Each structure stands twice: as C-alpha cells, then as structure tokens.
Amino acid sequence: MKIIVIGHGMVGHKFLESLAESQDGAAPRLEVTVLCEEPRPAYDRVHLSEFFAGKSAADLSLVPEGFFERENILLKLNAKASVIDRVAKTVIVSTGETLHYDKLVIATGSYPFVPPVPGNDRKDCFVYRTIEDLEAMLECGNRSASGVVIGGGLLGLECAKALRDMDLQTHVVEFSPRLMAVQVDEGGGRVLRSKIEDLGVTAHTQKNTVNIVDGETHTHRMNFSDGTHLETDMIVFSAGIRPRDELARSSALAVGERGGIMINNSCVTSDPDIYAIGECALWNGKIFGLVAPGYDMARTAARHLLGGTAEFTGADMSTKLKLMGVDVASIGDPHGNVAGSRSYHFTDERKQIYKKIVVSDCGKYLLGGVMVGDATEYGTLLQMMLNRIELPESPEFLILPQADGNAKPGLGVDALPDAAQICSCNNVSKGDLCAAVCGGVTTIGELKTCTKAGTSCGGCVALVTQIMKSEMKRQGFAVNNHVCEHFPYSRQELYHLVRFEKIHTFDALLAKHGHGLGCDVCKPVAASILASCWNDFVLNKEHASLQDSNDYFLGNIQKDGTYSVVPRMAGGEVTPDGLIAVGQVAKKYGLYTKVTGGQRIDLFGARVEQLPPIWEELIAAGFESGHAYGKSLRTVKSCVGSTWCRYGVDDSMGLAIELENRYKGLRSPHKIKFGVSGCTRECAEAQSKDVGVIATEKGWNLYVCGNGGMKPRHAELLASDLDKATLIQTIDRFLMFYVRTADRLQRTSVWRDNLEGGLDYLKEVILQDKLKIGVELDREMQQVVDTYECEWKKAVSDPETRKRFRHFVNTDQVDENVVFMEERGQIRPATLVERSAKVIEIIPIVPVLAEVE
C-alpha cells in the first residue's frame, strides 16, 4: 500500500509515529512518502517562542535520530503538494514529480489570518508561524526599538513574549474588550492584562486597525477606528488561524462553509481514500486549534487506515499554559453558557490571582473554570469535570486559599475511574497506566517508555507518578523512594546512615551502603547530607567533585556563563562603608548591580577567574558568602520594625539579623527563605516564606512551609505568642526535622504537603516532642552554628582551592565568548540577536588588577 502524507508538522509526524507503532509487522507492505514544504522536518510549534531564548531549530525538532532511516518511509523536504488528482490517485509536487497513492493523508495544518488592513504587506510586517518567520523577526528586531502584535489570543501573547525576549518595547493590539477572550472571562481578562502589563507589555484592547502607513518617528503608524494611533518598528500578525484547505477545494473534496476539510469520526473525508487530520480538518462543524486533538486525530487515522477500529469523537479544549511567566488555565465551559449554571469567584488583587468555577444547576458537577496567576488546582478540577465526579458540599473551597492547617478538599488518584484521561497529548488513561504496572513496570522511566505518558508536554508527570505508586501499593509491590540506582535508600534513610554511623565521605558511604561509581543524582544528595551533618568545607578534596556547578564555584552560573556574586547582608542591613565597598568592587570589575527582593545586592557578570579576587576584597570589607548558590539559607527578609516604624510592636530587624547569623551555615534539601515582620501589616511578607515570624503584642507568631515561585503556598501557623528563646528553639527543631526527613530537592512546602499527619503531626513532633528527639535536634543545630565558617573566606585563603577558579583546565586564558552590552548605564549579556548580528560593540572586559596566589 502506497501512502502519501501531505504536511510534516506536529500532527503529521504524530501520524507517522502512530503508523509505525500500530503496524504490528505490516511494515513491508507499506510505502510512505511524506511531503514537507518547509526546509526542515517537524518541530515543536507549541514552544516556538523558546527559539528567541536561545533554543535552536535542532532543539525544537520532534524527529528522533534515525526515524527516517526506515526503508519504507521517505521524507521529501522543500516539496509542496500542488495538485491532487483523485481519479488518477496522484499528487503533483512542486518539484515536478507525480506520485501515486493508495491512501492519502492531508495534514496541512493552518495559516495565520492577516486582517485585510491596507498596509498589511509593508516591509517589516510578519506572521508568527515558522522558524523562517522567526529568523526574519530576529533580523528585524536587531534594528528595531519597538514591536506590535496584532491579536491578543494564545498565540498573540506567546508572540509578545518573543518580542520582549528581543528587548523590544512591546504592545499587543486586540479587537475584543479583553485578552484571550475565548479562554477567560471578564474577571480573568482583567487580572491577566494587569499581570502582562506589569511584565512590560502594553495592551490596547477594543482597537480596530483601519490602515498601516509610514510613521513619523518609527517605521509604521497604525491608525485605529477610534481616531487614535500607535507607531512601531515591527508588526506581527497573530489574529487567529484559518485551515489550509486549498488542496481539498481544488480537488472537489467537501469543505465547510467557513473552511476546513470535512471528516467523519474515522477522520476520512468525502473521498474514502483520503484522510484529513489536525487544524485543516473540520469535524462536526468544529476546527480544533490545539495539539492534543490533532494528535488524537492522527492516532485515529493511522489505526483506521490499517484496518482497525478507531473513532475521533471530539476533544476537551481545556488548557493550561504559562504566558510570559503567568499561569493561565481554562477548563470546559469557562463562561457559564449552560442554562442554569452557577459560578464561584475568587480574586486576590494584591497577588493578582483570579479563579472561577462554573457548576451545574444542581451544584453536584463541575462544568468549567478559569484560573489566572495560579493554576495549582487545574489537574484536580479537570479530572472532576472530565469524569463527572461529584463536587464536595462546599465547592468554593476548591479555589479558596488554604487557611491555617485546613487542607483543601482534594481528589485522590484512587477516586479516578480507569477511563480517566491522564495524558491528553498521547491519549493515556489511568487504566493504561495501571495495566502497565500490573505488567511489571515499576519506575517512571519505564512507564514513560511503555505508555508514552508524560513524554510530550510533561504536564501530567506528577499525576502519572502518583497513579503508578498507588497501583504498585494495591498490587503489593514495594514502593521505594530510592535516591538512584546506586543507593537502595531514600534521602531520609541516607541521612540517618550518615548521621548515626558517622560517615564523613561519599566514598565511605558508597563502599558501605551503595554500589557502582555514583551519579549526578546521588553525589549532590550525599554532598548536601554530609554538609548538613558535619559542616565540612564543601570544596575539600573529598567533597568538591560531588558538588553541582553552582556549589563547585560558590556562585550561581548565569545564562552567558558568568557568575553572580552575592555578599550576605543579614536582614538587609548594611553600613554606608559596606555599600561603598560593594560599589567599588562592582565598578572595578565592571559588574551589573541589582537590589534583590531578598534585600541584598547582587553583582552579575563575574568571570570564573575573577571570583577569588572579588571575594577577597568583599571579605576584607567585612562581608561573608551569601550562599545564593547553595541549597541552604538564602535570606531573612525584614521590615525596620519597632526601631523605626510607628506601627512596629517588636524589633523585627534585630531578630532577623540574629536568625540569619544563626542559620547561615545550614545545608538543607532545598533553599530556605525567612521573613520577619514587626507587626501584622506584614511588610516583610513572612507568610510566604519557609519560616515566617510576625511580632504581636504578646510575642512572636511562627509560620512555616510557605513559598513563592511557580506554585505559591501560604505558610501555616505553627505556634503563637512565643518569647524569643522559645521561638529560636522551635525554629531549630523545625529546620533540623526538615533536614532529616525531606526528600531530595524538596521545598518545605512540598515536604509539608506530603507529610503524613500534616500540620497536626508537625506540631506534635516540634512542639510536644512526640518522638522524643527534641534534644537531639537541638544538639545537631548547635553543632551547625558552632562550626560555621564562611566558605568564600576559606576558599580565597587556600591556594589549592583557588586553582580551580579558571575557565579552561589547561590554560589561564579567559572566555572570549563572554559578550556584554550596555543598557541603562550598566552591562548585560548580549542577546541572541546581538550575537548573530556580528557587528556589535563589545564592552571591554575589565582586567583583574591584583590576584593573590
């Protein structure tokens, strides 16, 4: 059988993969020819904007090495199908070839819609679709100062991120009253707009562009129907898509009134020998513009073509994504279009979070939802809607913030039916995962290989892992949390072995309790445990090779290969002389300086060989390592408290400095951040930290296990009205219990969520000493405090350690690929555009004036 596939995008390639997986030995009778009009094979259009962040076309490729080395699959690049002759069953190609087919699959996708605005074809007007489009945008961006995206939908905001990555002043022009009008409602659109504008993108909604003409100060002037205008150097059209159905029209295949190749449930067109899949296909009057439905069509067509039974019956259009760092999710019917539906709303204007759920008239079932700013509940809500799982009595608590110690009503994996779709990209159900476990699969890697779950976007991996472990327990398998293949122990078990057997080196630990040579997983884990227990210098000969790159050079490596320098400023306090010293160092070595959210000054742009002399000068000025590179205490954020503030009820500044100096040497499973506020006005944001302390009229309130970041979590109240001595002892015990029991790279918030017994158990252990380990925890913390030594002071005073700080192992030459640009009076790394332009002004690298050997 001769098969021709027209189009080799994401959906076209998924068809080829599905065909290969479903053949069951039928490969010799199939001859597959793939016509790809682009100069490269299929690539990931979902993550296209990452091209501007440094990813290459090869990085975005979806084609595994050797895929087209199969004898029965031929890929033709730069080959566009021109004519389909349904009677002769041939396809004429732009290269002049005429190819015969038995079965034809049209996967031509869609094209960007460009509004019929006079001037839309001017120079430096683009669409956002292919890598060639992006390369043209990069060239234009190199000579532009500003850019406009016409279209405020999903793709439009992705495109806006690309323009921001090119350091352009960025605008989004949208005809509708709000951004992402299809996915979010008015409340969600308001919060989304606010967050997008906070990131430096100006949104112009309810704007109808009437023409594009020459600008006075920029290349283009966009005139709007309301009499206003906007000038810019670059315009990108991202105002929606239209199905590419021109081949179908010219060959008299049935198409929809508004476009799209009509297909049935088997993805067959009006010609029984021709299939259509992806964004060019019209099913039941609908075009599906997401990847997952296209993948489902590809699988359906492949199975049907091979004689199997398969049907495409539509797709849920729920989606979760991150736009310019902002979580946005839409589930089911977010607008409440079903008659009688009711909705619950939650808005936090300070944190810019909006959540809404739509429930049925009876109140039992979830119909839809919107989340902007925080989509933590997306997985739970999606499964409730898809599987028609009854809602709790008070469904509003599904989206309300977690109160002290009160967990949200959750959805355990055992409540999901076997038919629940867990991985929509690869159509993997809970039943598929459980069947794989029953067949002997016991690791997430094996499960991915076996079922393909989690191998595309990766958004379902956490849920896949939970299902695997739950089914393993049900089947009687031993569920382990082994660190890696070299140690049959969890991190907690390794900690106890090191602590109680007094093991001081990785080699000793490996010889006694492991096997093999170790790996990039177990070595940093062991390094962290050894540092937590014995507080030895991490760059001692026996420890140095265990560290990751940041700890190995005692600095955070940045995107251009340089390092940051972060001196500790306990509580954010620094003397005028200290500020002057930091400024002098930054000026001498040409470093970028920034005051951080953690109340410190970060210095960026130091080459590796500059780190020792920089730190030597900072140490001479009285500074210590800020541990910004380590899994350890980072900062203790503080307000000025009662010392200066008229609302302060206690000395938050003094306590913050005392706490930071006490815990600054503690190595832990993950980074730790503190906050100390002098009153309940909470200027130090203590309730979003791993450890938060708030002054009251009666003493100190202690909050634990909060964090900001990708998945913010409110800290929980552990104890109230503590005097300072009791407060410090409680923090000591909390931190050491966390260090003892947390998993590898587990934040306190995640550790708390996985702690059996929750907050009540934590209170029993820490406050009531249920396990009778309080004295041990006190002693272990005091050992850390007593043995503290500044790592950078140790490093610069040891000649052997200093030798490691050079870029090349066999020469003292510096890295000539480090290129800086000047911006706002300081340096920054050159962007991809600036590097590729070749003609750039390179900021001279300031030489080190003195270096102690």
Please tell me whether residues 767 and 643 are part of one structural domain.
yes
Task: Locate 12 and state its tokens.
Answer: 């076209």
Map 177-200 to HEC letters: CCCCCCCCCHHHHHHHHHHHHHCC
Sequence-distant (6+) residues with CB within 8 A of 487 are 494, 510, 513, 514, 522
With CA atoms as reference, report the closest residue to 244 among 107, 41, 104: 107
Helix (H) or strand (E) segment spanning residue 659 = helix 652-663
Q: How confident is the model at residue 502 (pLDDT cuts 50, 70, 90)?
A: very high
Amino acid at 447: L
Residue with tokens 């492991």: 514
pLDDT for the residue numbered 814: 74
| Cα–Cα distance, 192 to 188 (Å, whole number) | 6
- pLDDT tens for each residue of 32-82: 999 999 999 999 887 787 787 677 888 889 998 888 988 889 999 999 999
Binding residues for [4Fe-4S] cluster: 639, 645, 679, 683
Please tell me whether residues 156 and 289 are part of one structural domain.
no
Chosen domain end from 521, 547, 573: 547
Query: Do the domain assignments include residue 335?
Result: no
DSSP per residue, 722-769 = E-HHHHHHHHHHHHHHHHHHPPTT--HHHHHHTSTTHHHHHHHHHTS-
Please tell me whether residues 20 and 122 are part of one structural domain.
no
Residue with tokens 């089911």: 332
CATH number at residue 776: 3.30.413.10
Chosen domain end from 755, 786, 817: 786
| Cα–Cα distance, 173 to 202 (Å, whole number) | 9
DSSP count for the chain of H helices, then E strands: 27, 37
Round the average pLDDT of the chain to a whole number and report it: 87
Amino acid at 656: A
Task: Locate 516 and state its tokens.
Answer: 């093999």
Please tell me whether residues 194 and 206 are part of one structural domain.
yes
Please tell me whether residues 161 and 73 are part of one structural domain.
no
Residue with the bigger pLDDT between 616 and 162: it is 616
Q: How many Cβ atoms sit within 10 Å of the Cβ of residue 218?
A: 18
Lowest mean pLDDT of 278-287, 316-325, 481-490, 794-803, name the range.
316-325
pLDDT for the residue numbered 384: 87
**Average pLDDT over every residue of 833-843:** 55
Query: Do the domain assignments include residue 262?
Result: yes
Please tell me whether residues 203 and 153 are part of one structural domain.
yes
Predicted confidence (pLDDT) at residue 841 exceeds the cutoff of 50: no
CB 738 within 8 A of CB 691: no
| Cα–Cα distance, 373 to 754 (Å, whole number) | 24
pLDDT for the residue numbered 161: 85
Strand extents, DSSP E, 633-750: 633-638, 672-677, 691-696, 699-704, 716-722
pLDDT for the residue numbered 27: 45
Start-end of H helices in 480-575: 491-500, 506-513, 522-534, 541-544, 549-552
| Cα–Cα distance, 315 to 386 (Å, whole number) | 11
Predicted confidence (pLDDT) at residue 372 exceeds the cutoff of 80: yes
Sequence-distant (6+) residues with CB within 8 A of 592 are 586, 603, 604, 605, 826, 827, 828
Query: Do the domain assignments include residue 841?
Result: no
Task: Locate 819 and state its tokens.
Answer: 């290129």
- pLDDT tens for each residue of 131-156: 899 999 999 999 999 999 999 988 88
Please calculate the CA angle 412-413-414 and round it to the nearest 5 degrees. Answer: 90
Q: What percent of the chain has pLDDT over 90?
A: 50
The domain total for the chain is 4
Task: Locate 76 and state its tokens.
Answer: 């033709």
Query: Do the domain assignments include residue 372?
Result: no
Chosen domain end from 761, 786, 811: 786
Q: How confident is the model at residue 5 (pLDDT cuts 50, 70, 90)?
A: very high
pLDDT for the residue numbered 409: 52
| Cα–Cα distance, 615 to 291 (Å, whole number) | 50
Range of the domain at 124: 114-239
Sequence-distant (6+) residues with CB within 8 A of 536 are 504, 530, 543
| Cα–Cα distance, 707 to 684 (Å, whole number) | 13
| Cα–Cα distance, 743 to 716 (Å, whole number) | 20
pTM for the model stands at 0.56
Query: Do the domain assignments include residue 798?
Result: no
Q: How confident is the model at residue 2 (pLDDT cuts 50, 70, 90)?
A: very high
Binding residues: 639, 645, 679, 683
Please tell me whether residues 16 and 68 are part of one structural domain.
yes
Please tell me whether residues 118 and 220 are part of one structural domain.
yes
Predicted confidence (pLDDT) at residue 574 exceeds the cutoff of 60: yes
Query: Do the domain assignments include residue 10?
Result: yes
Query: Do the domain assignments include residue 602?
Result: no
DSSP per residue, 805-851 = -SS-SS-----TT--EEEETTEEEEPPHHHHHH----PPPPPPPS--
CB 333 within 8 A of CB 184: no
pLDDT for the residue numbered 843: 47
pLDDT for the residue numbered 406: 47
Query: Do the domain assignments include residue 355?
Result: no
CB 815 within 8 A of CB 561: yes
Please tell me whether residues 782 and 651 are part of one structural domain.
yes
pLDDT for the residue numbered 829: 85
Q: What percent of the chain has pLDDT over 70?
A: 93
Please tell me whether residues 21 and 50 are part of one structural domain.
yes
Binding residues for siroheme: 683
| Cα–Cα distance, 189 to 819 (Å, whole number) | 39
| Cα–Cα distance, 728 to 734 (Å, whole number) | 10
pLDDT for the residue numbered 836: 61
DSSP 227: S
Task: Locate 259 and state its tokens.
Answer: 């476009």
Predicted confidence (pLDDT) at residue 848 exceeds the cutoff of 50: no
What size, in residues, is the chain?
853
Map 438-483 to HEC letters: HCCCCCHHHHHHHHCCCCCCCCCHHHHHHHHHHHHHHCCCCCCCCC
Please tell me whether residues 666 and 521 are part of one structural domain.
no
**Pairing between strand 421-423 and 366-372?**
unpaired
Predicted confidence (pLDDT) at residue 480 exceeds the cutoff of 80: no
Sequence-distant (6+) residues with CB within 8 A of 94 are 37, 78, 79, 80, 81, 82
CB 101 within 8 A of CB 3: yes
Please tell me whether residues 232 and 146 are part of one structural domain.
yes
Sequence-distant (6+) residues with CB within 8 A of 362 are none
Lowest mean pLDDT of 244-258, 360-374, 605-619, 746-760, name the range.
746-760
CATH number at residue 290: 3.50.50.60
